Amino acid sequence: MRTIANFATRFRSGDFIIGTFVKTPDPAIVEVLARSAIDFVVLDAEHAPFSRRDLDLCLLAAREGNLPALVRVTHSDPVSIQQALDQGAAGVVVPHVRTPQEAQHVARISHFGSGGRGFAGSTRAADYTRRDIRAHLDATASSVVVVAQIEDAEAVEHSEGIAGTAGIDGVFIGPVDLCISLGKTDVSDVTVQAAISAVARGVKIARKSVGIFVGKSSDVESYRNFELNFVLVRSDQSFVLNGADAACIEIRKTVSAT
């Protein structure tokens, strides 16, 4: 059963889970997706126009629907990561992690401790002062999921080291940016597929969860041998566009056949 409480356990245990990106900064989108079969969502603050207020309302909707919500932050910025986690995100996805050293930085600023995330007991994540310091530290240590996104050619050879960093729970492969970084324009190119395979293999050696973006459900078949633990399929905008197109095509076929 999908719950916020068991998300970190499911993610780390290697259960196969399915998520999607939310690109529209409106809590109603999250509210609707919470009623779907999706296992989790990623609020895309990197590429979509999410303000801090937008994230707050979307995370509130996710909590109301018991839907785990990660935030893809703009970069490995301690302020952005802290704000997302304080607002109640189940975790963060950090783009363009290229080296184990960068992964260590991401892990440090995503967790409490020396040089790490700052503490505030008045936040949603801390149950608005209802949790004491020790209880909140213990809860976040076990429940916050930190995902490093590998999408640069430089990162491929470092995938095992990135994934093996303490405090990093998994790796998300960004196939399109990786493709472009390799000087290609087709994700199915053998060079790109070899790089994706190398990343997946490195993450598996590190015994962490690995996932990838898929533009359509059938794409999962091409990654079957990579032993994926999660996929992010499409986005809310894609679901709306494809649903509208499919309905119109079906109706026009029916009308033209009569």
What string of pLDDT tens digits covers the 258 residues of the chain? 899 999 999 999 989 999 999 999 999 999 999 999 999 999 999 999 999 999 999 999 999 999 999 999 999 999 999 999 999 999 999 999 999 999 999 999 999 988 888 889 899 999 999 999 999 998 899 999 999 999 999 999 999 999 999 999 999 999 999 999 999 999 999 999 999 999 999 999 999 999 999 998 888 988 988 999 999 999 999 999 999 999 999 999 999 987
User: Would you list the DSSP string of the chain?
Assistant: ---STTHHHHHHHT--EEEEEE-S--HHHHHHHTTSS-SEEEEETTTS---HHHHHHHHHHHHHTT--EEEE-SSS-HHHHHHHHHTT-SEEEES---SHHHHHHHHHHHSBSTTSBPP-TTSTTTTTTTS-HHHHHHHHHHH-EEEEEE-SHHHHTTHHHHHTSTT--EEEE-HHHHHHHTT-S-TTSHHHHHHHHHHHHHHHHTT-EEEEEESSGGGGGGGGGG--SEEEEEEHHHHHHHHHHHHHHHHHHHHHH-
Q: Give pLDDT, residue 1.
A: 86
The confidence score (pLDDT) of residue 222 equals 86
Q: Could you tell me the domains of the chain?
A: 7-257 (3.20.20.60)
Q: pLDDT for 34-53, tens place per residue? A: 999 999 999 999 999 999 99
CB 106 within 8 A of CB 72: no
pLDDT per residue over 63-105, tens digit each? 999 999 999 999 999 999 999 999 999 999 999 999 999 999 9
Q: What's the pLDDT at 224?
A: 85
pLDDT for residue 46:
98
- The pLDDT assigned to 217 comes to 86
**pTM metric for this prediction:** 0.95
- Residue 218: the pLDDT is 86
- pLDDT for position 164: 99
Give the pLDDT score at 118: 87
Going from the C-alpha of 220 to that of each of 192, 217, 227, the distances in angstroms are: 16, 6, 10
